Structure 1
Amino acid sequence: MIYPQNAVDKLGYTDIKALIKDKCLSEAAKQMVDKIQPQIKLELIDRYLRQANEFKNLLVNDAALPVDHIYPIKAIIEKAKVEGAFLFEDEFYRILLSLRTVYAIIRYFNEREQQYPNLELLFEHLPIEKSIVRSIEQVIDERGKMKDNASRMLLEITQQITKSEQEARKRIDSIYKQAQQNGWTADGSLTIRDGRLCIPILAENKRKVKGLIHDESATGQTAYIEPEEVFHLNNKVRDLEFERRREVIRILTELTTTIRSHVPLLLAYHGLLTKLDFVRAKALFALDVDAEMPELSKEAEIRLVNAKHPLLSLSARQEGHQAVVPLNLKIDAVDRVLLVSGPNAGGKSVCMKTVGLLQLMFQSGLLIPCDPTSKLGLFKQFFADIGDDQSIDSDLSTYSAHLSKMKHFTQFANARTLVLIDEFGTGTDPQFGGPIAEAVLEVLNKKEIRGVITTHYSNLKVFASNTHGIENASMLFDNEQMRPLYILQTGKPGSSYAFEIAQNIGLPKEVLHLAKQKIGVQQKKVDTLLVDLEREKKEIYDTKTAISLREKELLNQQSEVQELQSYLDENRHSLLKEAKEEARQIIKNANKLVENTISEIKQVKAEKDKTKDLRVGLQKAADSLKDKPKEQAKVVQEVLSDEPVEIGDWVRIVETGNEAQVIEIAKNNLILALGDLRTVVKKNKVEKLRGKEKAKAVKKSRPISAESVADFHPEVDVRGMRTDDALQKIEMVLDRAVMIGYPSLKIIHGKGDGILRRFIRDYLRKYNHVSRFEDEHADRGGDGITYAYIA
């Protein structure tokens, strides 16, 4: 319940609905927007919010939903329900386009099964009745007109009309040419009069041509005559056209009778399009205002994190103003009421209206501009006292209007009521208005209402500080630069800064001096104290800002350290290169030592002692090299194991030295492409190639031969096979298609009970290289054949 009813206008709720209506494509969806109102069932709110949130994610992250043709077909369907009535060609065409849109949408969500569960609830168990589309397509063409071959009789009549028209045209051309030769015609050519083709004849010669005079020129010098022979031929055409029209009506009546049995389903299709259009409009509006889905609570509570007034945000963005300062507040069972004070134009009213508007939007199933960590509960009543509601007709003054609302609030408010009051207590003598407002606030607090109240009255600030359930809050103000900060701080009341603002505006000093003398000493002390508190708040806020900046600097430094670590990791490659170069040098020296040893053995003619000494020297040289390769291998292994490998990288298999490309990563295993072959290798068994080595490996990789592509047949028939055998066969063909870069694969699995089809599609969803799949055309096998498209 909302009281008074004009509160929705003052909070901006009506403006929000108008903006959502502008996003709708159909009139039916706009009517649904008009019916939006706050709900009190948590399950309903949750479903509405999730549908809008899923559609928002769809718009941002997925392919566009096919909503090209959304027409108001409900009236057409209702017309088809009447026995003996028939729909016109353009009406059938609108139904056809709408059905195509419905079926495209159903297929869209079927391909994304369980990805958008709440949106799928909109058309759960709604079948695709293709017979309706086929019936209409047999009669109506792509221009929305009746096909000439819609029936055999219609085709014959159409052909006769064409033949008669050609004969009439041929005959009138002959007569016109003869009249021209005789000099009977006036200037000009053949012309249309009363829907008939006529010859322009000079008035003095009109008796020389037998026929029907249809018109004369303004001067009376030219007569427009339809020749007698042509007149009879045109009459024949007219009779045929009447006959054609009768046949068209017969066909349309028969087609209307055919779809009459599907009226309930057609109405369900219309409802689906309307609901999707409605949810789409809500999602588009959510994107405009950066809205999110908050957490839901069964309790009467509000916790807003970085919330913004949607209308204020849109206005600031359109006019290029400074970004709106976000609002953070909490209303719960402990701090039920926020009493907001502070300077004029400091944002108190905007704060209160933001809370009321966002709560109304939330309970209406609309996403709201705030952090997803925000949490909102349920309220059964919304009471608001905003602005001036004085009425001459009702003999109500401003203050009387306020009091009548206070009367309603105190009588009917409860713990599930959200109360919003702006400038509480104003409109009468402050000496009396303050105590009355305090008494009303005390009664409302006993009823444990929740709410936001703005005021300048000091007695209310003192009452809030001494009363459980009411929390003082203030809008921060920079009293040095004399400007509001629009930041809400809870815990302490705020000063109105009346003297400071008056001084900044330029009010004469003597006026300010007299004013200060007229207020009480105690009041002056209270106001001074509040100003000092505001100054302390400002210092604390500045300190927090400085700490936040320091934290950002530390994060940046941490990022730089990580980059440096990455740089050091990259240098491992240079160590590897140095190790390889040293190994080559060792091998080179070893070969030289062996050759020298053999040469000396030959020179001394293989004396035993000398040979033995040479062997000992050779063994010492070999032993000295044993530890180095182990250390180098250990360093190489560490480098290999730490080097990150991604899909598309070129690597060398350590054990075999073969070079291959990574096509898939599965936990600690790599699936590599070796030419036309695939192999699986552990991550720590490969070395990532870079720079010249990578370029060399790419250059050496054998391109797919024309013969292998030509031999490949992009079709696999698994009808009658067991599921495991079928999937194994499909995998083999898919793997080869990926290797040779073939774009698509045709899988023939048959219809049957649809079990094999479901297993195949589940497998295709998990296959990384399959971008999408779809049914074959209905005329060529339909859902008995699946086309898989390879990315």
Structure 2
Amino acid sequence: MIYPNNAAEKLGFLEIKALVRQKCLSEPARELVDKIQPQTNAEQVEKFLHQAHEFKTLLTADDPLPVDHMYPIRPLVEKARVEGTFLLEEEFHRVLLSLRTVFALIRYFNERTGKYPYLDMLLEHLPIENSIIRNIERIIDDRGKMKENASRLLLDLNQQIQKSEMEARKRLESVFKAAQNNGWTADGNLTIRDGRLCIPILAENKRKLKGLIHDESATGQTAYIEPEDVFHLNNKVRDLEFERRREVVRILTELTTLLRPHIPLLLSYHGLLTKLDFVRAKALFAIDLDATLPEIGKTCETNLVNARHPLLYLSAKAEGTGGVIPLNIKLDETDRVILVSGPNAGGKSVCMKTVGLLQLMFQAGLLIPAEPNSKMGIFRQVFADIGDDQSIESDLSTYSAHLSKMKHFTTFANAKTLVLIDEFGTGTDPQFGGPIAEAVLEVLNSKQVRGIITTHYSNLKAFAGKTDGLENASMLFDNAAMKPLYVLQIGKPGSSYALEIAQNIGLPKEVVRLAKEKIGEHQQNVDALLINLERDKKEIHDTKAAINKREKELLIKQREYEELRSYIDDNRKELLYQAKAEAKQILKDANKLVENTIAEIKSVQADKEKTKAIRSNLHQAIDKHTQAKPLVKKIVADNKDVDVDQTLQVGDWVRLKDSGTEAQIMEIAKNKNLILALGDLRTVVKPNKVEKLQGKEKKKAAKRFNSVSTGDAADFSPELDVRGMRTEDALHQLELVLDRAVMIGYPSLKILHGKGDGILRRFVREYLRKYSHISHFEDEHADRGGDGVTYAYIK
């Protein structure tokens, strides 16, 4: 599929595989990564891509995957397959740990049946055979050692050995004490020689103690003797240990025999572990790249939106130098071949390699660093001519090597071939190299190939401009600052800026002048035209960027206007409702007052003086209603909105109108909403919902807050442990602790999130970056947890 054989290496695909390999936990998975090759089967490519995508979703949005132990089972199973052989205790322990991981993984996916359909394919409906684990657990403990009671005979032998050792030790200590009392011993205590406990005896007294001399000191003044009585007891212990060893071998052989019928299932378990580890590595690499699943096309086409070269992106990310300028390019039936021109070091080769590398990654089942709305098809062949392949052994010059590749391209290329050619036509006399390159390009175009070709040749630019299926493109260049912009512009060829770059570098003016004369007036005019086109394209590009920025600002203004209009409409409705309600109440009170007045006049039988007094009371009531403040003023006073925030500042004390709760302004958002601190809690309210506290009220609120804060400070712990938590729960706890730390003025916070796959650590640090009160954060010292602990410092 790939020609020549070193094309994948030159595009950077081997480096990608090496980075994925680093993410694997087991050696079998690393071997799978080594075998990764671009595929041409559409169903297979789709399956691999969806598996990586689902695993990425699982790692970022689901519970942690139980992958505690992933020992390779296959070598142990192959050993157990042979009749008469047996696995050692530590080998059975590795099988046990791996099986526990396998069963935990099967249960994990069984609980999520249908959620990850492509990952479910890896399980192949494997059963959980608990009898294997039970048989091993009956014999092997959690330390990987055989249990004392693995069999009745083993238990009896262990007890006899223990009893005999104690008897031998007791007897030895008795002899040692007697020898000490007789003054026969040298300085020191009991010591081991040849695996036996011995007594250090002075050389002149060694004949006084019956026993076996195992060793002497370097000076010859001390002999190490095993007493005769103890010697027989130790021999008994040695015999018992031989018997125990025979029993251990018998038990392990029997256990291996029980394991042997399950060998096919164990190999399936091994395959599941390997494949899950392999797909997990691809998903982790995709997370590092911020890679996504593009749309999978059915035809040979490529439409990359905001694509980034993976290796350059990771390098820039590691160095913290900012992002990589994204690439937007499309290869389809209309524009099959893109001819990229422009200045040296302007990004032409990177553009071509980005397309080629992402295509190889895509067809190898790896997610790509581009927008999800990108679209990629499947090519049956990828031909690349990159760099200098001259060979002394094959008697090939640089140009001969290029021509040999062109021969292969023109012979075997077809409509399902992606062709990548760097610096097309170079390596020989331009007078002949240009026409030959044009002829090759014409043949390739007639074969309907897709491809990216970089060149400086003017005849190729002209040919592409007048030929269907070919499209010129250029890398933008700032000819004022004399630096490349690394932005691909489709539709027009670009200038090489050879004379401008030579002049900018400092080549003598006389040399530049002579070069201009030798180039010829026609070529200078063409180059000048290209430079003017380049300048126009840059102006258009800058104008479009400015328009986009202005559109975003207008959208923000429009959103603010809509919110303000909605707020005013709501206030107007509330105002009318309250006005109607108050008018209704006034009318009701007035009717009642008139009725009461008439009733009182009737009750006094229209007495002149009493009627006068009643009328006086009526007028006083009317005056009272007349002098009352208008409802509109009251409501407006209660609903100050647009300009209220102008008088409020961070640190001011306010009271919530609806509840009477006092709070302090911690922050004023861009949309003018207030972020308030109420004890341990934060809330967001509109400015019209609060009233500012002044004078004594402000002092009382601050005093109460300080008393509460003092209590909080006494109870507050600057250490937060979120290990084992789900991401959402961990961030919730982090928010609560950070809020308290900010309110009581605590300078720093220690967050224990563990290492693991680094997912929780990444989310914690992303949250800290967005928290306005965090000045910076750093890892703990390597001896005290390293990157499993984060220290956050508060402004």
TM-score range, shorter chain: 0.7 to 0.9
The one-letter amino acid of 1:43's match is: E
CA drift of 1:124 comes to: 2.5
SS in 1 for 2:474: strand
CA drift of 1:81 comes to: 0.9
CA drift of 1:194 comes to: 0.5
> CA 1:457–1:178 in 2, change beyond 3 Å: closer, same or farther?
same
CA drift of 1:351 comes to: 0.5
> CA 1:180–1:425 in 2, change beyond 3 Å: closer, same or farther?
same
1:379 aligns with 2:365: no
Distance 2:231 2:523 in 1: 105
SS in 1 for 2:325: coil
The one-letter amino acid of 1:536's match is: D
Distance 2:600 2:573 in 1: 41
Distance 2:428 2:394 in 1: 19
Identity over aligned pairs, percent: 73
The one-letter amino acid of 2:175's match is: I
- Residue 476 of structure 1 is matched in structure 2 by 476
267-276 vs 312-321, which moves further:
312-321
Distance 1:288 1:503 in 2: 42
> CA 1:38–1:570 in 2, change beyond 3 Å: closer, same or farther?
same
Post-superposition CA distance 1:192-227 (Å, at most 9, x none): 100111111111111221111111111111111111
The one-letter amino acid of 1:324's match is: V
SS in 2 for 1:270: helix
Distance 2:572 2:206 in 1: 107
Distance 1:464 1:414 in 2: 19
1:240 aligns with 2:245: no
Distance 1:606 1:220 in 2: 145
TM-score, length-scaled by structure 2: 0.74
Q: How does 1:634-783 map to 2 (within 5 A)?
A: none
Distance 1:167 1:562 in 2: 94
CA drift of 1:580 comes to: 12
Which consecutive segments of 4 or more residues in structure 1 shift more than 3 A?
Answer: 565-607
- Residue 117 of structure 2 is matched in structure 1 by 117
- Residue 535 of structure 2 is matched in structure 1 by 535
CA drift of 1:268 comes to: 0.4
Distance 2:284 2:361 in 1: 15
SS in 2 for 1:300: coil
- Residue 270 of structure 1 is matched in structure 2 by 270
- Residue 462 of structure 1 is matched in structure 2 by 462
- Residue 3 of structure 1 is matched in structure 2 by 3
CA drift of 1:24 comes to: 0.5
1:335 aligns with 2:335: yes
SS in 2 for 1:336: strand
The one-letter amino acid of 1:239's match is: D
1:403 aligns with 2:419: no
Distance 1:128 1:690 in 2: 62
> CA 1:529–1:227 in 2, change beyond 3 Å: closer, same or farther?
same
5+ residue gaps, structure 1, are 622-634, 636-688, 692-791
Distance 2:392 2:231 in 1: 77
Distance 1:38 1:495 in 2: 36
- Residue 20 of structure 2 is matched in structure 1 by 20
Distance 2:208 2:574 in 1: 109
1:160 aligns with 2:160: yes
- Residue 515 of structure 2 is matched in structure 1 by 515
Distance 2:580 2:79 in 1: 86
The one-letter amino acid of 2:507's match is: L
The one-letter amino acid of 2:561's match is: V
CA drift of 1:322 comes to: 3.5
- Residue 320 of structure 2 is matched in structure 1 by 320
Q: How does 1:513-592 map to 2 (within 5 A)?
A: 513-565=513-565, 567-568=567-568
Post-superposition CA distance 1:67-122 (Å, at most 9, x none): 11001221001111111111000011001000110111111111112111110110
The one-letter amino acid of 1:528's match is: A
- Residue 421 of structure 1 is matched in structure 2 by 421
CA drift of 1:572 comes to: 8.1
Post-superposition CA distance 1:629-664 (Å, at most 9, x none): xxxxxx9xxxxxxxxxxxxxxxxxxxxxxxxxxxxx
CA drift of 1:62 comes to: 0.9
Distance 2:54 2:562 in 1: 37
Distance 2:590 2:156 in 1: 100
- Residue 107 of structure 1 is matched in structure 2 by 107
Distance 1:291 1:38 in 2: 18
Q: How does 1:9-408 map to 2 (within 5 A)?
A: 9-408=9-408
Distance 2:194 2:262 in 1: 44
SS in 2 for 1:262: helix
> CA 1:591–1:432 in 2, change beyond 3 Å: closer, same or farther?
same
585-594 vs 236-245, which moves further:
585-594
CA drift of 1:317 comes to: 1.5
SS in 2 for 1:372: coil
The one-letter amino acid of 1:517's match is: E
> CA 1:112–1:587 in 2, change beyond 3 Å: closer, same or farther?
farther
Post-superposition CA distance 1:706-740 (Å, at most 9, x none): xxxxxxxxxxxxxxxxxxxxxxxxxxxxxxxxxxx
SS in 1 for 2:225: strand
The one-letter amino acid of 2:97's match is: L
Post-superposition CA distance 1:268-300 (Å, at most 9, x none): 001000000000000111111111111111211
CA drift of 1:173 comes to: 1.1
1:430 aligns with 2:446: no
Distance 1:230 1:571 in 2: 102
The one-letter amino acid of 1:282's match is: K
SS in 2 for 1:435: helix
> CA 1:208–1:109 in 2, change beyond 3 Å: closer, same or farther?
same
Distance 1:580 1:180 in 2: 114
CA drift of 1:521 comes to: 1.8
CA drift of 1:594 comes to: 11
Distance 2:583 2:108 in 1: 60
Distance 2:368 2:51 in 1: 14
> CA 1:595–1:104 in 2, change beyond 3 Å: closer, same or farther?
farther
> CA 1:155–1:541 in 2, change beyond 3 Å: closer, same or farther?
same
Distance 1:211 1:569 in 2: 109
CA drift of 1:576 comes to: 10
RMSD: 3.1
Post-superposition CA distance 1:371-429 (Å, at most 9, x none): 11111111111111100011111111111111111111111111111111000000000
5+ residue gaps, structure 2, are 622-634, 636-688, 692-795
Distance 2:227 2:87 in 1: 39
Post-superposition CA distance 1:427-465 (Å, at most 9, x none): 000001111111111111111111101000001111111
SS in 1 for 2:306: strand
> CA 1:202–1:253 in 2, change beyond 3 Å: closer, same or farther?
same
CA drift of 1:584 comes to: 12
> CA 1:172–1:587 in 2, change beyond 3 Å: closer, same or farther?
farther
SS in 2 for 1:261: helix
> CA 1:181–1:53 in 2, change beyond 3 Å: closer, same or farther?
same
Post-superposition CA distance 1:492-521 (Å, at most 9, x none): 111001111111111121111111111122
CA drift of 1:589 comes to: 5.6
Distance 2:178 2:462 in 1: 110
CA drift of 1:321 comes to: 2.2
341-350 vs 173-182, which moves further:
173-182
Distance 2:402 2:177 in 1: 92
> CA 1:510–1:181 in 2, change beyond 3 Å: closer, same or farther?
same
CA drift of 1:320 comes to: 2.5
Distance 2:583 2:228 in 1: 111
SS in 1 for 2:340: strand
The one-letter amino acid of 1:368's match is: I
SS in 1 for 2:426: coil
